[in-house]
Amino acid sequence: MAIRHVHTRLLALTMTATACGPKNVEPVKPPTGWHQEEGWTMACYFPPDWGSLPKLERQSMRATALDDMITQWNGSREDGISFKAERIEEVEVVLLGRPEKIEAIVAANLKQCEKVATGGGDASAWASWHKALPGKLTEGECLQPLDYTMFDYLDIGAGWQRPLSICEGDRVKVSGTIKDKYRVEDGGPWINVEGDPARPTVGDESLPCNLEGCNLGMLVLRFTSDDGVVTILPVTGGEIVFTAPAHGTIDYRINDDKYFDNIWFKNGGIVDHTAIEIGPSN
């Protein structure tokens, strides 16, 4: 009987300790949507737990989050934040084309908002961050591959013409009609896009094309990479196939530095005009 009493007392003490001890408290979930902590000067937009959302709901919430951020960026929340309309539109266009990047931008935007709301930063720093977004979001991307054909006429009275975006690896053909003639010197010979073979321009730094194969007045191609590296090539025989070593732009001109005496060949009432074609090389 004594043993039974001891067991009973121990059970009672255990139950009492459990009843008086700390209870299991569920952790407070982080806020979602617009939320303002005590002492903040404004509300900030908090993202949902993206990983817990089903695919379709996650996609829908991205659009909602972007819309909500825009209401603050354009001043609709009247909390003192207002960015330039054209910059907001630019960011929106970039993100609509890259919706998966919205999640990271919401998190980064929240940090900017919290700094201002708590007095740890100012709106100008937030605006600078926002201004830089389009460039950062598209960094390293090629925005416009040359997957179409462009037709134009050569201007023998101007410098570089018709810059076109081109992506790394694009294989492009540039050509000019050989039958059309012009002159680049008063009293000089009539030439075409092959230039004057009697006037090579190797080493002449006053002209854009001064490598082996460059002639006065010929059609030349320039490639400028996104990081500023420039390559100028002669369009030998009126045609060149060029493979882009990086993202950048291409444009063209004649190999000349004076335009006042340049004229097109005229036969009766017909005036020559060199046609230019730029497009993918199959």
Q: What is the CATH number of domain 150-280?
A: 2.60.120.430
| pLDDT the model gives residue 18 | 47
Residues 138-192 have pLDDT tens digits of: 887 887 889 999 999 999 999 999 999 999 999 999 999 999 999 999 999 999 9
Rounded distance between C-alpha atoms, residue 102 and residue 109, angstroms: 10
Would you say residue 15 has pLDDT above 80?
no
User: Could you tell me which residues are beta bridge partners of residue 240?
Assistant: 174
| pLDDT the model gives residue 13 | 41
Residues 222-260 have pLDDT tens digits of: 999 988 999 999 999 999 999 999 999 999 999 999 999
What SS3 class is residue 160?
A: coil
| pLDDT the model gives residue 55 | 95
| pLDDT the model gives residue 33 | 96
Would you say residue 11 has pLDDT above 90?
no
Q: Are 182 and 196 in contact (CB under 8 A)?
A: no
Domain extents in the chain? 33-137, 150-280
| pLDDT the model gives residue 138 | 82
| pLDDT the model gives residue 216 | 97
| Helices 123-131 and 102-117, axial angle in degrees (round to 10) | 160
Mean pLDDT of the chain: 90
Residues 230-240 have pLDDT tens digits of: 999 999 999 99
Would you say residue 122 has pLDDT above 70?
yes
| pLDDT the model gives residue 139 | 81
Task: Decide: residue 68, CB within 10 A, 0-12 exposed, 13-18 middle, 19+ buried.
Answer: middle
Q: Are 236 and 253 in contact (CB under 8 A)?
A: no
The predicted model scores a pTM of 0.59
Residue at 251: amino acid letter: D
